[in-house]
Amino acid sequence: MIPATPHRGPSPRLLSSAALLVSLLALVFSMGGLAPARQAKHHKHAKSHLGAKLAKLDARCAVSNAVDLGTWCLESTPFHVPITDTGKNNYLYAAQKCVAEGGWLPSAAQLIGAAPKVALASTIDDSPATSANTEFPEAKNGIKDQREMSGDLFTTAAGGSAAGSEGVTAGSKGVGSTGEPDPVPAPADPLPDSLDYVTVYDNHNIGGFAGGKPVGAAENFRCAYAKGYQGKPRDTSSRP
């Protein structure tokens, strides 16, 4: 009878490895169990910190002389046109100046909507306390009803040329491969009299439309700005 091979127990090295594996698994599971709680706590702390920072942010207008209208601002006074630019403040001038200032030329709807809070130009019988009129006008400067430019446009004539034309520059050539003739030179008309901007006035805080003026005609205007500026508002009280 062949004696049974004696059963040999696991070697010390194997037991050691098994114990190490069990310990590592236990560590992993324990970390996994704590991770959600720690992560939730971290997110809660981060959210509170972000909320505190946002609460300190003071969204404001980019310029000093602006009226806060919620999500946007409007200059409280018309744009000061330098003496050297007198008569040049047409639609192109106004649109470009407002963009250069970081804003835009407001629409008629925005101006009329702002009439109860902003002193817009108005008729001579409107209150100087709520409009841009002066209480003691000087006769030498003229005593007239005033109005302001808006960004809205309309045409007074039919056809594409009513909105202006870039003309045809001398030297333009047709497509030779198709036999297209050379276009006839024509002058440009970037500021047509048939394209008008809408003007608005205070109308005793009700707001009103005051007719149109050709885009090439000068008029008072003011700029609008989006809120959200975080720095110190730019001082425009002495704008050149």
Higher pLDDT, 120 or 56: 120
Tokens of residue 204, six digits? 């005793």
CA 163, CA 174: separation in Å to the nearest integer?
A: 25
- Mean per-residue pLDDT, 24-36: 54
Taking only the tens place, the pLDDT of each residue in 123-172 is: 999 999 999 888 888 898 899 999 999 999 999 999 999 999 999 999 99
Burial class (CB in 10 A: 0-12, 13-18, 19+), 168: middle
Nearest CA to 198 among 116, 91, 87? 91
**Is the domain 38-157+187-240 a CATH 3.40.50.300 member?**
no
Q: Is a pLDDT exceeding 80 seen at residue 58?
A: no
pLDDT at 136: 85
- pLDDT tens sequence across 190-236: 999 999 999 999 999 999 999 999 999 999 999 999 998 666 777 77
The answer to whether residues 94 and 221 touch, using CB atoms and an 8 Å cutoff, is: yes
Where are the chain's structural domains?
Answer: 38-157+187-240
